[in-house]
Amino acid sequence: MTHALLREAALGRAFDAEPLPDSLPECHVPFAELVGQDAEGALRARLERYGRVGVVGAVGSGKSSLVRYVLRDERFAPVFVNVAIEDPDKVKDPRRFLEVLVSQLARTAARAAALSEDERAELLRAASPTEMLPGQDVTRGGEFGAWVWVLRGKIAADLTTTLPAGEVYATTDQLREAAQAALRAIAAYDCLPVLVADDTDRLLRMPDQAVSRRLFVGFFGEVLRMIVDTLAAALVVAVHDRYRREPEHRYDELIEGRIEHHLPVPELTEPEQLGRLITGRARFLRPTATWRDLLEADALAELIVLHGGRHEHSLRRTLAVLKSAFALAGADDVGRAGARHVRAADAG
């Protein structure tokens, strides 16, 4: 069994370093289980009070999976806006940001309203939480993904009335009124609208540093001000930990009065904590599997050193090395990956 498990870990999706966004909630192992810090509960409690939260961590530290795990709760109606989009004006200009928000809501509502009752019921059934263990494979809501809340009740129909397809908004005031009306329509169904701004770390990783800086200041300045002053929604912003550490970004000055609370993503610092994460992912493969079925103890020790060192607490990098180590161990025809496989995977 051990050899077969190792092959599945190397070839399957259980240890993917970058799962598709809609898969992140199912892959997430709660930090309360990993490190004893209930980051999920803390985020949920803040959002329930229409809070404005910055989720802080390094690239690949688990910000997105934490947020999506919490927002799969049916009380929330998350609206995801990826700020690393192709048109920079949509990031730094409040009017353009409103255009993105309104058009996303209108398109999603129109698609949902066009479904038959049977199609709607099937998508809701597929997206519902199951009794499976954390990390096990589940079916999801297809193209609607995190927007599956729009399928419930008559939300889609009400939104298509509020935001008619193809509507042209000539002024910023009209856009603002349309966005406000849409959020009120969502809230009328006892769903709490949550705006999620993800991938903000890319704002400072563009080739043209002058453009990069303008986007950063525009988004964390004028766009966030518009969201806070105008829109009745909770807010989650993914925040790279460098923004707060490095004064030259002027991050604290830009977000003053706009983000009320910063929630650091807990870091894994002990082998046992990383072992719990690997066990959570291993249960994609076998309900009773643990990290010991896949790794030697020296491999786990090697991984935690890399995780806190060269990998800079990036779960994405650590999982990528882990999956490669499984493949190398399988090629060696051994039952478990050892420290040498981890070192070779990291070097490769």
Instruction: Please state which CATH number belongs to domain 38-264.
Output: 3.40.50
Give the pLDDT score at 148. Answer: 85
Give the pLDDT score at 141. Answer: 44
319 neighbors 15 (Cβ within 8 angstroms): yes
pTM (2 decimals)?
0.89
Give the pLDDT score at 24. Answer: 77
Numbered ranges of CATH 3.40.50 in the chain: 38-264
Give the pLDDT score at 132. Answer: 39
Numbered ranges of CATH 1.10.8 in the chain: 2-15+268-347
Mean pLDDT, the chain cut into blocks of 10 residues (348 residues total):
83 86 80 94 96 93 92 91 68 88 92 89 69 42 72 91 90 95 95 90 76 86 93 94 87 92 96 96 90 97 96 94 96 94 95
> pLDDT digits over 33-83, tens only?
999 999 999 999 999 999 999 999 988 899 999 999 999 888 999 998 877
Both tokens of 55, joined, read: 């989720």
Topology annotation, domain 2-15+268-347: Helicase, Ruva Protein; domain 3 (1.10.8)
Both tokens of 33, joined, read: 């289980």
Give the pLDDT score at 128. Answer: 62
Per-residue burial over 98-117, b = 16 or more CB atoms within 10 Å of its CB, e = otherwise? bbbbbeebbebbbbbbeeee
Residue type present at position 164: P
In 39-187, where does DSSP find H-type helix?
39-48, 63-71, 89-92, 94-113, 117-127, 155-162, 172-187
Both tokens of 281, joined, read: 């992912």
